[in-house]
Chain A
Amino acid sequence: MSTRRLFERETFLAPLLLSPVAVYMVLMVGFPFAMAFVYSFSNVTVGNPDFHMTGFGNFTAVLGDPVFRKSLLNTFIFTFISIGLVLILSNMLSELLTRQFRAKWLIRFLIMMPWTAPIALGTIGYLWFLDSVFSPLDWLLRTWGLLGKPHALLGPMSNMYWLGQPGLAMASVILVHVWRLLPLATMIRIAGMNSIPREIIEAAQVDGAGYYRRLFHIVLPLLLPVISVTVLFSTLFTFTDMTVVWVLTKGGPPDHSTQVLASFAFLKGIQGGDLAQGAAISLFFFPVLAGVAAVVLRIAKKAVVT
C-alpha cells in the first residue's frame, strides 16, 4: 500500500493525528497522577524517594488536620465566589463589548491584557497595590477622606491592611483571581453571542420583547453550552490554582485564613517535607473535579441547540 493511500485511510490517520495528544496526556497528566496516587498511600518524604506503602494513613491524618479542613472550606469559598463574580462580570462586559462604540478594539485589547501577562508578575503588582503600608489604594482612600480620619467611612486607621485581615485577605485573593479569569470568560461569551442568529433576536424585538426578556429567555438559554464550558474551565482552573494565594498571602494571614487545597498540598508536601501527605491532599481534588466536569458536560450536552 502506498504511503499516500495509507494517509487517506481514516483508521490510520485519526490515531496518528491524535497520538501527540495521547502521548502528552500520558506523560504530563497520567504519569504525575499515577505517582501522586502511589505516593498518597506511602510514607515517601521530600528527602527520601525510597518508600513503603502505608495504606490509608495519610488520608486519615489529613482529614484529622484542622488546617486541611479550613483549606477545603476556603477552596470552596474561593472557587464559588470567584466563579459567580466571573459569570456576572463577563456577562456585563460581553454585553458592552458586542455593541458598537469608538475605540472598541482598544478596550477589548486592554481587557485581554491580564490574560496575556504572566500571572505571577501580575500578582506581584497587586502585592504592591495591596501593601499594608504603601498601598496606593489606601492613599486614594485617605485622599478622598474615606480612611484615616476620626469619622471616616472606612475607619480612623491609616491603612486598610488588605492582606493582614482574614476577610479582606480572602476578598483580595478572590478579586485578583477574578481579574485574571475575566478576560477569557468574556471572550468565550462574546464568541458565543456572535454565534446566535441575529434573526432570532430581531424577531423577538419585533414581537415586543424587552432587553431583560431577550436576555433571560433567548440569549442566556442559547448561551448555556458556552456558559457551561466557561464554568467548567473556570472551576477546574480555580480549584487547582495556588499562584494568586501563594504570591499574595502564602495562605495567611494566620491561622491559614486564605489557605486553599493546592497551596496547602505544596506547603505540606514541599515546605513541610511530607510528600506523601502533600499527595494525599492533592488527590482530594480528583473526585470533586471529576464530578464537576461530568455534571457540567452533561448540562452542556442537553442544552445544545440543534
Chain B
Amino acid sequence: MKKRYTRRDFLKHAGIGAASLAAGPALLDTVFAQTSGKRTLRILQWSHFVPSHDKWYDQYAKQWGEKNNVDVTVDHIGLADLKSTFAAEVAAGKGHDIVEFIDPPSDFEPSVMDLTDLNQEAVKRFGKQAPFATRSTYNPYTKKYYGFCHGWTIDPGDYRKSLWEKAGKPNGPETWADLLTYGAKIKNEQGVQVGIGFSQELDTNMAERTLLWSFDSSIQDENENVILDNKNTVEAVKFMAELYKQTLTPEVFGWTAASNNQLLLAGKASYILNSISAYRSAQKDVPEVAKDVFFTPALKGPRGTAMACEHVIYIAVVPKSAEKNADLAKQFLLDRTANYDRAMWESKLYNSPAFFGTALPGGDRGYPAVANAKTLRDLHNAWFSNDPYALPGERTDKLMPLKDAEKWSTNVGYPGTANPAEGEIFGTYVLPGMFARVAQGKQSAEESVKQAAAECKKVFDKWRAQGLLRKG
C-alpha cells in the first residue's frame, strides 16, 4: 500500500528544500574554502565620493587577503541603499561579515556583535580615539560598542574669497552673525546668495545641528533627556529664519544633498557648509572657482560656542550572523586602521583618521614622503598646511583653518552619544521641519520648537522602551 502524503510531510520536505536553496551558496563557499584552504571575508560599504579611494581600497583589501590567505570581496553600493540592504541581511540572518556605514548605525545594536575588544585593542595600538568617534559607536547604557570607527570627514564652511573681500571681510565669516551681515551684503550688492539648505536631505540636517549646537542648544543632553524646547533653540530658529530672508532664496527648500556643491561650482554661492569634496570637484571641473574657494572652521554662535557636525563618520559593524568570521573581520579592521595614511591620501584628504596617534608604517607608501612625520597627526598637519592636491599656481595653505577640526567637530547626538532616537529624528527630518515652518512664516519660533520637541520626546520614549536608551 502506498504511504499517504500528509500535510506534515509536505511542510517537512518544503522546509528542507527551501533551506537547501537558501544555504546552497553558503555551502558552496564552504566547500570551495575547504578545498582551497582559504577563508572568505565579505565587506559591504558605500561607494566613496572620491572614486580614487575605492580604487585603492579594493586593491588593498585584495592584497590583505593574499597576505592572510583569505578571499576578500568588497561590495560597494549607493549610500541610500546601505541601510535597507543591511536590514534585509539582518532579517535573513546572513550576508556580509563587515558592513561599513557613514552614520552611526545605533538602531542595529541588537543585531551586531559587541566590538569592545576591538575598540580596546585599537586604543592600545593607535592611541586615543577622537571623542565623537567613540560617542558614535558606544552605547553607555548597554555598555556595548556596536561599531568601530576608523575615520571621519570634516564639515567646514567653504567661502568665495573674492566676494567676501569686496564685502570687507576677506577671511570669510567667523560667526553666524557675520554670515548674516556680510552674506546679506554680498547678496544685495553682488547678487550671490549663501548656500545653506532648508530641505529634507542630509546636508540640511547637518547644517541645522551645527547651528543649534553653536547656539548652545541640542536635541538631547548628555543623559539622553530631550531638552530641545528652550530659549536657545528659539533664538537659533529665529536666526535661521532671518538668514533665509536676507541671504537665501526659496530654492533651498527644494535642495538635494548635491545642490550646495552645484551652486558653489556654478559660482552662485558665497558660502556653503560642506566637506572639501565640493572644492575638489571644483578643482577638477572649474579651476577658476576652486582657486577662489577658501575655508572657515565652525562659526561662533552668540555666546562664542563653535561646533560643527562631522560630515561623514565611517563605522564598521560585524553582524551577529558573521560571528564565525569575527576574528578575521577584527584583524582586517585593525590593519586597515594601521594603514589609514593611504586612506587619507587616496581620498584626497577627504578622510581624516579617528586615531591621530597611529604610527606611520615605514617604506614606500605611494605618496611623497613627508619629512619628520611619525604619526597620522604629523601627516595631517603637514598636508593641511601644504595641500599636496593644490592646483598649479593655487595657494597651498587653504586647508590650514581645518588642521584642528577634531576640536570643533562632533557627532549626531552631541552632547550625548549617537542613539536610535537621534537616528530616527535625523532620518525623518524633524529639525528641517522645525526650521522651515518658521522661515516659511507658517508658525512662530516658539510653536515650531514646541512641536518638534514633542515629536522628539515621542521618539525617545519609544526607543527607551526598546531598552536602547537610558531610562528617563
Which of A8-16, A179-187, A216-224, A253-261 interfaces with chain B? A253-261
B111 CB contact (under 8 Å) in A47, A65, A268, A275 = A47
CB nearest neighbor in A for B198: A254
A159–B248 Cα distance when bound, in Å, is: 13
User: A127 to B259, alpha carbons, bound, how many Å?
Assistant: 12
- Which residue, B84, B429, B462, has most C-beta atoms of chain A within 10 A? B429
A132 and B249 CA atoms in complex are apart in Å by 10
B251 touches A47 (CB 8 A): no
Q: How far is the CA of A24 from the CA of B466 in the complex (A)?
A: 36
B462 contact set on A, CB distance < 8 A: 61, 274
Residue B83, interface by CB 8 Å: yes
Whether A165 contacts B253 in the complex (CB less than 8 A), given A43-B466, A49-B111, A267-B428, comes out as: yes
- A159 to B251, Cβ gap below 8 A? yes
Per-position binary interface string of chain A over residues 121-136, scored 1 when its CB falls under 8 Å from any chain B CB and 0 otherwise? 0000001000011100
The chain A residue with its CB closest to the CB of B423 is A273
Q: Provide the bound-state CA to CA distance between A253 and B435, in Å.
A: 12
A169 to B440, CA, bound (A): 14
The answer to whether B470 has its CB under 8 Å from any CB of chain A is no
A47 touches B199 (CB 8 A): no
Residues 411 to 452 of chain B near chain A (Cβ within 8 Å): 420, 423-424, 427-429, 432-433, 435-437, 440, 442, 451
**Any chain A CB within 8 A of the CB of B64?**
no
* Bound form: Cα–Cα A67–B251 in Å: 22
Q: CB within 8 A of B249: which of A43, A48, A50, A157?
A: A157
For residue A287, CB closer than 8 A to chain B, the reply is: no
Among B22-30, B115-123, B229-237, B261-269, the one that faces the other chain is: B261-269
Which applies to chain B's interface (DSSP): helix, strand, loop or mixed?
helix
Chain A min CB distance to B317 (Å): 10
A43 touches B465 (CB 8 A): yes
Are B424 and A253 neighbours in the complex by a CB distance under 8 Å? Answer: no
- Docked-complex contact B251 and A254, CB < 8 angstroms: no
A250/B250 in contact, CB under 8 A:
no
Report whether A252 and B254 are in contact in the complex, using a CB–CB cutoff of 8 Å: yes
Let me know if A45 and B466 touch, CB within 8 A. yes
Say whether B254 contacts A267, CB under 8 Å.
Answer: no
A47 pairs with B108, CB closer than 8 A: yes
Q: Mark A102-135, 1 if CB is under 8 A from B, else 0.
A: 0000000000000000000000000100001110
CB nearest neighbor in A for B105: A47
Give how many A residues have a beta carbon under 8 Å from the other chain's beta carbons: 40
Q: Mark A37-63, 1 if CB is under 8 A from B, else 0.
A: 000000101111110000000000100
Q: A258-280 CB contact bits vs B (8 Å, 1 = yes)? A: 00000000011011111100000
A47 touches B200 (CB 8 A): no
Contacts of B268 in A (CB 8 A): 133
Looking at chain A's contact residues, the main secondary structure is: loop
A163 CA to B259 CA, complexed, in Å:
12
Given A47-B420, A268-B428, A273-B427, A252 and B253 touching (CB < 8 A)? yes
In the complex, what residue of chain B is closest to A164 when comparing beta carbons? Answer: B254
Asked if A78 is an interface residue, CB under 8 A from chain B, the answer is no
Residues on A with C-beta less than 8 A from B262 are 133-134
- B424 adjacent to A274 (CB under 8 Å): yes
Check if A270 sits within 8 Å of B84, measured CB to CB: yes
- Residue picked from A134, A161, A273, most chain B C-beta under 10 Å: A273
B428-A164 in contact (CB<8A)? no
A46 touching B87 in the complex, CB below 8 Å, given contacts A161-B249, A256-B433, A271-B428:
yes
Q: Is B107 an interface residue (CB 8 A)?
A: yes
At the interface, yes or no: A251 with Cβ under 8 Å from chain B? Answer: yes
Pair A50/B423 contact, Cβ less than 8 Å: no
Smallest beta-carbon distance B199→chain A, Å? 5
Contact check, A61 vs B420: say whether CB atoms are below 8 A apart.
no
Partner of B432, one of A133, A163, A164, A254: A254
- Closest B residue to A172 using CB positions: B254
- Whether B253 contacts A50 by the Cβ 8 Å rule is no
Cβ-defined partner of B436 (8 Å) among A43, A253, A267: A253
On whether the beta carbons of B427 and A271 are closer than 8 Å, the reply is: yes
Name the one of A43, A132, A162, A253 contacting B259, with C-beta atoms under 8 angstroms: A132
Chain A residues with Cβ under 8 A from B455's Cβ?
A: 65
- A132-B251, A133-B263, A255-B433 are known contacts. Are A47 and B90 too (CB-CB below 8 A)? yes
Contact in complex: A163, B427 (CB < 8 Å): no
Q: A47-B420, A271-B427, A273-B427 are in contact. List 15 more A-B contacts (CB 8 A).
A: A45-B466, A46-B108, A48-B108, A48-B111, A132-B249, A132-B250, A134-B262, A161-B250, A164-B199, A164-B250, A254-B436, A256-B429, A270-B83, A272-B427, A275-B87
The 26 listed contacts between A and B (C-beta, < 8 Å) are A47-B90, A47-B108, A48-B109, A49-B91, A61-B462, A132-B250, A132-B252, A132-B255, A157-B250, A161-B250, A163-B254, A164-B255, A165-B253, A249-B254, A251-B429, A252-B200, A252-B254, A253-B198, A254-B432, A254-B437, A254-B440, A255-B436, A256-B429, A267-B429, A271-B427, A273-B420
Query: B residues touching A (Cβ–Cβ < 8 Å)?
Result: 83-84, 87, 90-91, 105, 107-111, 198-201, 249-256, 259, 262-263, 266, 268, 420, 423-424, 427-429, 432-433, 435-437, 440, 442, 451, 455, 458, 462, 465-466
Residues on A lying within 8 angstroms of B by beta carbon are: 43, 45-50, 61, 65-67, 127, 132-134, 157, 159, 161-166, 169, 249-256, 267-268, 270-275
Q: 6 nearest interchain CB pairs?
A: A132-B251, A163-B254, A164-B254, A254-B436, A47-B108, A253-B253
